[in-house]
A and B are shown apart, each in its own frame.
Chain A
Amino acid sequence: MSHERIQMAHGNGGKLSHDLVKNIMWPAFSNDILGAMNDGAQFTINGARLAFSTDSYVVKPLFFPGGDIGKLAVCGTVNDVAMNGALPLYLSAGFVLEEGFPMDSLKRIVASMQQAAAEAGVYIVTGDTKVVEKGAVDGIYINTAGIGQIMDGVQIAGQNARPGQDIILNGYLGEHALAVMSERHGLEFPQTVVSDCAPLNGLVAELLTAVPQIAVLRDPTRGGLATTLNEIASQSQVGIMLDESSIPVSPAVQAACDILGFDPLYLANEGKMIIFVDKEYTKEVLSIMLCHTYGRESRVIGEVVSKPSPLGQVGLRTRIGGVRLLDMLVSDQLPRIC
């Protein structure tokens, strides 16, 4: 069945989102900078290497355990800029507001944005507000864009994965998606799950200062760890082998996933990052991460391999010793989580 209209799955960060970009956006906008397909654009102006990224936030509900749309709008874009190996500096903020939206909620959201910006050390320096008729948007949508300076000597790109590198993750998976989901549907899990939404630029700056050799940085947001690793495997034309027993999933998230039939490897995160680095630097990277607030549960979860064939795939070695494919997200697990 071909798709003549946009369906929700076109927005989930998985296969259909990729098709949308590849078939509609790319033919119209194609240029070298866009073609690199990283979390943001990287370019040079008068010798200064810059990273630039944008994202729109439509999360429902607006407030959830561990955050709200404002915190998400700042952290999400800060992280996208940081994943280019850059220090985020300035953000823009565009608001689309629904007629009748409570002023108190807007104040809370804006205060939360300022708090997140302060923690990340960035300034919101330009913005826009639009109001549309009741029903034309669901309360409030926010777009942010961010610009930052790429650190000296750093070359981060999805194309840089090579056999022999370790893959490191900074903590538990799936918390953001489940926190939003539980709030939206009024679900009570055995334990409350709190969103991991957090600015990672501080940790990234520390890491790249000490180990500028880091090859790939990516935040596994929509589509989760599995989709992000597939993107990298495909961009770099390498194989990736993960070790299931070392992938961190908290008991609270695992219990909720068991109830709902979700796979934590496909759930969105907003405070996680994946690092690809040559094995000789793994120890140093981990020692920095484990001391940082947002890296206390960091660990090696797998490695880049030259097999299997064809390249560009991700495999998972299961707890009982089997091996299977870890595919990209196709079906929509949860719409509107960021």
Chain B
Amino acid sequence: MPNKFGLSTFVLTSPFTNDDLHLMGKVKEMGFEVIEICIEDPAKLSSVKIASATREHGLDTSICGAFGPNRDVSHEDEKVRNLGIHYLNTCVDFAAEVGSAYVSGPMYSATGKARLLSPGERKEQFNWAADSLNRVAQYAQKRNVGLAIEPLNRFETDLINTVEQGVELCRAIDLPNVGLLVDTFHMHIEEKSLSNAIANAAPYIFHVQVSENDRGTPGKGQVHWDDFFATLSKIHYGGQIVIESFLPTVKEIARAVSAWRSVAPSMDALAIDGLEFIRGMAVKYLDVK
């Protein structure tokens, strides 16, 4: 099946709510086939309304999470871990109800926690993440949803920075519906080689986000795009490819995103020019006409 191209709601508005569903028309018009909806505030989104809007506009849906301090499945306080699990289960419900195959995102911790942990503390945090995500994944299995876990760069988390560390977490969770989301922005900071990182994690690559090294328009910076797409071809990646960037107004994870200046002429230009570039790469390397 050919890959489908998507746009993250973080490029459009934040938080994305029921009042913003009309933006799907714009996303479709730009040429995207998928809208990736970030569940920043679940109370302001209805899965019924999302499903109806995506049907109307002929878009597929991808659900991702935003992990603020009270959605932390590896927190030392069990109450906070349970809040994180509850939030993720809510995201799983959204995914099941709107037809998203996965819930994706850096779900193992609160984004922006980049402390220095001793090896013992880190192991403890890792184990809490694995235990909590195992519980979420079991629930997700019942709803026929997968989890796509996203490694983040060193400034946004202290737990999972590289794809290899992501695989380690997947193995610890040890359920078949658990894999990874890889994002070129983070990989450009943390990996030594895009091709090795992806090829070594091939069975776990569930979902893909693309972003330039400065979070600007894909194709206008330093990311090694040919290497990246050639490797997606090599592992026969047939999933969605979603353009992600952030409006400077993102609240839930503002400290982590640190997007305080514009990286493209406009967010619309980033989406349109980025899609043209990504489609070109996909035609060159993937099963896309």
A binds B: no
Q: Residues of A at under 8 Å CB distance from B?
A: none
Q: Residues of B at under 8 Å CB distance from A?
A: none
